[in-house]
Chain A
Amino acid sequence: MVILSAHNITKIFPGVVALRDVNFDLRESEIHALCGENGAGKSTLIKLLSGIHPHGSYEGRFEVKGVEAKFCGIADAGRSGISVIYQELALVDEMTVAENIFLGREPKRFGGFIDWPRIYREAKALLDRFQVTLDPAAPVRTLGVGQKQLVEIVKALAKDSRILILDEPTAALAEHEVLILLDILRDLRKRGIACIYISHKLDEVLAIADRVTVLRDGTSIITKNAADTSKAEIIKHMVGREIADLFPRRASEPGDVVLHVSDLSVAAEGSSEALLQRISFELRAGEVLGIGGLMGAGRTELLMHLFGAWGRRLAGKVTLRGKALPPGPPSRLIQEGVVLASEDRRRYGLVLEHDVGFNLSLSSLDQFSRGGFLNRNRETRRNREFFDSLRVKATGLEAVAGKLSGGNQQKVVLGKALMTEPRVILLDEPTRGIDVGAKLEIYEIINRLTAEGKAVILVSSELPELIGMSDRILMLHEGCIGGKFTRAEATQEKLMAAAMGQQHVELT
Chain B
Amino acid sequence: MNSKLTIRDFALVIALAAICGWFAVAAPQFLSARNLSLLMTELAITATLAMGMLLIILPGHIDLSVGSGVALLSGIATVFITNLGLPAPVGLAIGFVAGLVIWFMKGLLIVRERIPAFIVTLAGLLVYRGLFWLVIDNHTVPIVAGGQTNLYSLLSTYYLPPAAGYLVAIIVVVAAVVAGLKSRAARRAGGFEVEDGEASFLRLFIAAQAVFLFVIVTNQFRGIPLPALIFGAIAFAVYLLTQHTAFGRHLYAIGGNAEAAVVSGIPVQRVVVTAFAIMGGIVAITGFLLTSYTGNSTTDLGEWMELDAVAACVIGGVSLRGGRGTVLGVLFGALIMACLLNGMTLMAVTPEYKLIARGAVLMAAVWMDVRLNRA
Contacts and interface: CB of A to CB of B under 8 A. Distances in A.
Given A351-B323, A381-B190, A329 B256 contact: no
Interface string B318-340: 00000110000000000000000
B370 interface: no
Interface in A204-220: none
Interface stretch (A85-93, A277-285, A369-377): A369-377
Contacts of B240: 373
Interface stretch (B31-39, B115-123, B258-266, B358-366): B258-266
Interface in A189-241: none
Interface stretch (A255-263, A359-367, A483-491): A359-367
Contacts of B209: none
A309 B249 contact: no
Interface string B261-284: 111111100000000000000000
A353 interface: yes
B253 A353 contact: no
Question: Size band of the A side of the interface?
Answer: 35 or more
B322 to A, nearest CB: 10
Contacts of B259: 347-348
Contacts of B256: 351-354
B199 interface: no
Contacts of B324: 353
Give the dominant DSSP class at B's interface.
helix
Contacts of A120: none
Nearest to B192: A380
Contact of B260 (A347, A365, A369, A384): A347
Contacts of B265: 330-331, 333-334, 339, 363, 420
A253 interface: no
Contact of A352 (B1, B244, B257): B257
Interface string B224-250: 000000000000000010001111011
B267 A329 contact: yes
Given A330-B262, A363-B265, A374-B249, 4 more contacts: A309-B262, A309-B263, A374-B245, A381-B190
A187 to B, nearest CB: 43
B1 A355 contact: yes
Nearest to A369: B246
A349 interface: yes
B337 to A, nearest CB: 26
Nearest to A354: B256
B104 interface: no
A374 B245 CA distance: 5
B253 A362 contact: yes
B147 interface: no
A398 B2 contact: yes
Interface of B: 1-2, 183, 186, 189-192, 240, 244-247, 249-250, 252-253, 256-257, 259-267, 323-324
Contacts of A162: none
Interface of A: 307, 309, 329-331, 333-334, 339-340, 342, 347-355, 358, 362-363, 365-366, 368-369, 372-374, 376-377, 380-381, 384, 396-398, 416, 420
Contacts of A377: 186, 189-190
Nearest to A400: B2
Contacts of A374: 244-246, 249
Contacts of A397: 192
Given A350-B257, A351-B257, A366-B246, A331 B263 contact: no
Contacts of A354: 252-253, 256, 323
Nearest to B252: A354
Contacts of A358: 1, 249, 252-253
Nearest to A416: B264
A402 to B, nearest CB: 10
Contacts of B264: 330, 362-363, 416
A373 B245 contact: yes
A331 B2 CA distance: 27
Contacts of A334: 265
A351 B260 contact: yes
Most chain B CB atoms below 10 A, which of A331, A380, A398: A331
Which 7 residue pairs are nearest across A and B when measured between Cβ atoms?
A: A365-B246, A351-B256, A334-B265, A331-B265, A380-B190, A363-B264, A348-B263
Given A362-B249, A365-B249, A374-B249, A349 B190 contact: no
